[in-house]
Amino acid sequence: MFAGGMHRSRAAVGRLSPGYFALVMASGIISDGLHQTGAAILSTLLLVVAAISFVLLVVLNGWRLARFRRYVVLDFFDPERAFGYFTLVAGAGVLGSRLAAGGQTHWALALFVIAIIGWLLLGYGVPWATMLDRGHRSTVRNANGSWFLWVVASQSVAALAAILERELHRGQHLLAVLSVVAWSVGVFLYGAESLLIALREMLYDADFAPSYWVAMGAASITVLAGAELLDAPGTAIIGSVHDVVDGATVMFWALATWLVPMLVVAFCWRHLWQRDSLAYDVNLWSMVFPLGMYAVASMELGRAEGLPWVEQIGQVELWVALAVWTVTFLGMLAHLYRTVLRPADPVTVQS
């Protein structure tokens, strides 16, 4: 029985999705929103889930790299899966932002170091590997919503840098530069990837997979990072882009809001009309995170711009995101029990 459990565990690690850090992203951002609304117990619970998940996933990915390096390399060169590696960066950034909000500045700084190194390495490595690999017939054909994770990673770095700029007494100018650069790169990438994915949808069949929700999540985290930039100390570089960030933040919130009904309709079309299975899949976390991010971004924007009705939209959306998180988390636990943790059926010996 023990040997069977170890075999299933090794198999699960071998097929571990690069995008599983979306669990950390979803848990961390909803925890942040609950912290802002005063729901301390729920916020702490989700923070614990996010922190434990981050550590566990780091260990499992290290195991996968050591034991199943071939699978890691194949994922890295696969346009459909490679951008999932950016969830490590975004997970570190979102978790760091939540810890900073709770006064854990040193842990937030450590996660920022992980995020910035990962952002630089993956930001150059993943696009180069996927776009120049001749093993795939067409990079555009394999483009999907997970590509927006590059934007999410960039904006998570920008947001955490802006938060640390307020909290730390040293390195403020460097953090300000990093925040502005990461935010600007994220905005550019959103436009470029939108064109590529729109081209893919026009040339090939649309499937409206859960990963397409990341488009809304990327727009929402651009709003959040912009709001954090506007709230940062008045260094020269932030002052020079203040008006641009202010206007773009409102525009990206409008875009994210416009995307929500379209994504809901696409979800209903896929699962009600096309009767696609609603069984648990890791990609569902790519739907939970945008819901939580849109809620927190709306709350931040409403406070920054003096728009209480926008803040109220975010507060209502936060509880919707928490409900979806709960259902998805329970589905994940059931899936893990069935595929990894459940004891093997005893072998019946015939006399």
Q: What fold does the segment set 2-341 form as a domain? A: Glycosyltransferase (1.50.10)
Query: Hey, where are the domains in the chain?
Result: 2-341
CB 93 within 8 A of CB 111: yes
CA distance 60 to 172: 35
pLDDT in the model for residue 345: 56
Q: Which residues of the chain are modeled with pLDDT < 70?
A: 1-7, 132-141, 201-210, 234-236, 271, 274, 343-351
Indicate the pTM of the whole model: 0.89
Ramachandran category for residue 38: left, alpha or beta (phi over 0 → left; psi -120 to 50 → alpha): left
- Which helix or strand (DSSP H or E) is residue 293 part of? helix 285-305
pLDDT in the model for residue 173: 85
Nearest to 260 by CA among 183, 317, 328, 201: 317
pLDDT in the model for residue 304: 82
Q: What secondary structure does DSSP assign to 44-68, as a single string?
A: HHHHHHHHHHHHHHHHHHHHHHHH-
pLDDT in the model for residue 168: 83
166 C-beta neighbours (distance < 10 Å), count: 13
